[in-house]
Amino acid sequence: MEYIPEQKGKSIYKTYMIYFICMVLFCIVRILASHGFMYMDGSRWSDVFYTVLIQVGLMFLLPMYLYCRMIKVTPTSVFKTCNYFKLTWPIVFTSLFMGVLTFFINIIVSTFFTGIIQFTGYQSPLVFSSGVLPDYSIANFFLDVLLVAVLPAMCEEFMHRGLLLQGTKHMGFTKSIIMSSVLFGLLHFNINQVSYAIVLGLIMGYVSVVAKNIWPAIIVHFTNNFISVYLDYAQANGWPLGNFYEAFNGLFRKMNMYVVILVITVALVLVVMILLWLVTILYKQAILRKVKKAIGNAYKSSSYDVRNAPVVLDRDQSIRAMLATNTMLNLEYEEMKNPLSVVMPKQTSVYKSTSKDNLFLVGSFILGFLVTLFTFIWGFI
């Protein structure tokens, strides 16, 4: 693979700097909130203010502003860079189904990881709150859907699968997906959430890259969070599936430990297989339009009539080149090292980041790791 210099309008260094600035400010706000500075009036609206400040302010508006100023682009071009493209109903339904499967994966990962850290003697400390007793009214349900599902799905995805992943994809999609996923997990600043957040980030990063569209990742994120909110309210109000967690845990308590491990492993494999199948559906939906357009352009440039002439990729190099350039399809099947290569965009050249480029990336990793480690230590105090 060929290494190339960064093109105009692309800067890994500035992208990481923007992320680091937002991460530091988020950490400061979390510290202030833990000392009660965000809950002056003791009402539920303090939670609303805190969430809107974090999600809309630090995850959307601030990075958008900094990116436009530093990279010297318009907000419209930022949305295009982040792959905010047309959303169709097939994509919506496919993404919703993927979100449900992702929720089950998160339950398994979270339960496994929580068991490990609790085995060390860790006990989850009380999280700061406004001091208001839980209110499971219908009004609060819709408010929590907005605060916990809608805003995080929109704003956190813009930050991670948008600016961070797409802003650094020219160093390699695989590296960008992994890096953005780990930072997504660390940004939660919570030892209880870091494991499943990283897994969720990997799924959403892969989906957004394969679909060439950020909307499927947003829908998966929303669905995962929405189910969590719904189950909490269902348990309190006696709604359908209100006993889901109790039934889920009770089922495995009746089984032998080795049987539980076997059942969970088989279930996880099946869920992942279905998830990969849905990813291929998204890929087909995303690539069909691009392929048709590329073939049409190739025939026009080659003086062919697309209505009468057959498409023969191996014989017509002009069409082959047009497809590879405009769709990033991997047409060199003999070079595919694994099944994921079939749907991952082909990159013949990447940018090799320098120590300077990674300065703020390292800073973000260190900050996220230290704060997450503190939440682990706090559980022993």
Q: For residue range 195-233, list pLDDT tens digits in order.
A: 999 999 999 999 999 998 999 999 999 999 999 999 999
The Cα–Cα gap between 184 and 175 comes to 14
- Position 133 scores a pLDDT of 64
C-beta separation of 298 from 323 below 8 A: yes
166 lies in a domain? yes
Question: Rounded to whole angstroms, what are the CA distances from 252 to 77, 228, 272?
Answer: 50, 20, 21
- Position 24 scores a pLDDT of 98
In the predicted model, residues of the chain with pLDDT beneath 70 are 1, 38-43, 126-133, 288-342, 380-381
- Position 314 scores a pLDDT of 46
The Cα–Cα gap between 37 and 31 comes to 9
- Position 306 scores a pLDDT of 47
* Number of residues in the chain: 381
353 lies in a domain? no
Identify which of 42, 213, 221, 212 has the alpha carbon closest to the alpha carbon of residue 130: 42
The Cα–Cα gap between 371 and 348 comes to 38
- The continuous run of DSSP H or E covering 279 comes out as helix 257-301
DSSP strand pairing (2-3 vs 349-350): parallel
33 lies in a domain? yes
169 lies in a domain? yes
78 lies in a domain? yes
274 lies in a domain? yes
Residue 180 domain boundaries: 11-285+365-378
Q: Tell me, what amino acid is at 75?
A: P
The Cα–Cα gap between 97 and 223 comes to 9
349 lies in a domain? no
SS3 assignment, position 2:
strand
What's the number of domains the chain is made of?
1
146 lies in a domain? yes
Dihedral of the alpha carbons of 72, 65, 196, 130, in degrees to the nearest 10: 170
Partners of 349 in beta bridges: 2
Identify which of 213, 216, 275, 208 has the alpha carbon closest to the alpha carbon of residue 91: 216
